[in-house]
Chain A
């Protein structure tokens, strides 16, 4: 890389200059190998994730007999909605779906209400313990929910939060907050402080400057952070299982069905596919944005 840029800097007047080619060749070979290895790694990782997703997807859209067939056909012979419909009409699925959506929306709202101001503070203010605070946010992720779940369940029972959607939403908010805070802070860092100051000199107080200038500029990023929370909540199984009994979210319901009742294969495949679909759609549309988020969101 550096050899090449150096070669580029040599005067162009001397066009037949040999060192240019000689210098460019060697790193190119090394670069090709590096690139090949990089691609090999990327393909391996992609396959690791994509193959199971593919298998689940074709099973979810195969007729029920095909699901039990062994060995499995890698390319589905016939497509059918039977399996998905079987899942859709299974007892509890539709109400669990409603629960999941409600919990997701609640978690999204709470995590933005709490996380966005925290992220804003991290981005704008130098306060005592700012770095420790950042560390602390990350360390909350180090506590396994498994350890916290029993005390949490006990407290929830005492607070009458057990087996409520609110309770699950609160748990999911807590889990999403570290990401929300760090992501929103990086979004607000991308919004120049001078813009808000300019608004203040033009008649805004601090809050108005935030609402009229920083917020609109941060909105796309905040939306991405919000959807991230929703997807996290949608996928979260453990806390949802521990903290609910009858008001199950969809993943908790599917897990319970499999563990307790030993749900049939079509139910598993269709349920699995139904659960991963939103994440896939989200990542597909947001991937560019999520990558950009850590660089510069607003120019």
Chain B
């Protein structure tokens, strides 16, 4: 019932000179938590505003709950929105802020009181109902904004970076709370963020956007493990995925790939040509570092050692490509030392060197 279907939406800015959204199609299932993730300027907020009706796309249709709302104003779309600045009304107290939408619907007083109290209870702001926004902290204002949306019992809840104005500690807490809350209310939610950790931790699915296009839509685990493009791999994860440029070679009749002057034996699918350029992608935690050389390990020179409490983050150079390696905290290493890296073969991903698109897995492109 609260399904969102976006079909071929284009949105231009600056009198048609800049396309902010290029042929976006996306379906958000009923009760799904969809995260729109991308760097600033990728069009994620514009897409959210198109769903809200605060922007109108030049082309394409938008359906909410099966109804074409492309030309409908925000008030008749069955949506509620939480703004980045919270947009809590400064001239109304918390109660009247939350009640605003219900008052617009001319609900009877006792219903307004009951529903406002219920929403305030859900957000744990019952104690502040009489206060004005100026007397609230950032975190409390954010709760008022969420309560004001939820009280409407919308088909769709839209959130535009609701946590980005909170400080780091509060943000962590608010993230978990928001996730619990949204699991409870089971509203279809579209959540915009540029914070990949937020996206990974909260979303049922993530739509990763890059300059006006959706490059991948999938569950967090897939987006993290099998990024569709170089961009997704580089944007998601701390540290981002490592990429090494290599060339397909044939060594003693078996396929191999050379990275700098390193030869890595790999079972590559037949359609890869000798001499073809590839990008090999692997995450820092899928590389095993050792101080002992072994035949299947790649030597690397350590550039930087960063102890991060629970583990060490090494920056090491393979050929002339710096890569990130995660090791246990007591791994004995100093800068300039040579270490030996074993790549977890089933975690290696191959990308087209020109387009940055990942080659489909299941083709057995592992390192042997």
Contact = CB atoms under 8 A, between A and B. Distances in A.
> Does chain A bind chain B?
yes
Interface string B129-168: 0000010000000000000100010000010000000000
A217 B73 contact: no
Contacts, number: 62
A200 B100 contact: no
Nearest to A197: B54
Contact of A201 (B74, B89, B134): B74
A77 to B, nearest CB: 53
B80 A201 contact: yes
Interface stretch (A175-183, A203-211, A277-285): A203-211
A123 B319 CA distance: 57
Given A192-B85, A194-B85, A208-B104, A201 B91 contact: no
Given A198-B81, A299-B134, A203 B75 contact: yes
* Chain A interface helix/strand/loop/mixed: helix
Report the contact-size class of chain A (Cβ under 8 Å from the partner).
Answer: 10 to 19
A195 B73 contact: no
A202 B148 contact: yes
A165 B42 CA distance: 58
B91 A202 contact: no
A216 B75 CA distance: 21
B185 interface: no
Interface residues of B, number: 24
Contact of A202 (B53, B84, B85, B101): B101
Q: Which one of A195, A198, A200, A205 has the highest number of Cβ atoms from chain B below 10 Å of its Cβ?
A: A198
B80 to A, nearest CB: 6
Contact of A200 (B54, B89, B134, B148): B54
A201 B87 CA distance: 11
Contact of A194 (B75, B80, B87): B87
A217 B90 contact: yes
Nearest to B160: A194
B2 to A, nearest CB: 15
Interface in B70-113: 73-75, 79-81, 83-85, 87, 89-91, 100-101, 104-105
Contact of A197 (B80, B87, B100, B152): B87
Contacts of B80: 201-202
Contacts of B50: none
Given A195-B89, A202-B80, 20 more contacts: A192-B87, A194-B84, A194-B85, A194-B87, A197-B54, A197-B74, A197-B81, A198-B83, A198-B87, A198-B89, A201-B54, A202-B101, A203-B105, A204-B104, A212-B100, A213-B91, A217-B90, A298-B90, A299-B90, A299-B134
14 contacts: A192-B87, A194-B83, A194-B84, A197-B87, A198-B83, A198-B87, A200-B73, A200-B75, A202-B152, A203-B105, A204-B104, A205-B73, A205-B75, A299-B134
Interchain residue pairs A-B with the least CB separation, the first 9: A203-B104, A202-B101, A198-B87, A194-B87, A201-B81, A200-B74, A201-B74, A203-B75, A194-B83
Interface of A: 192, 194-195, 197-205, 208, 212-213, 216-217, 298-299
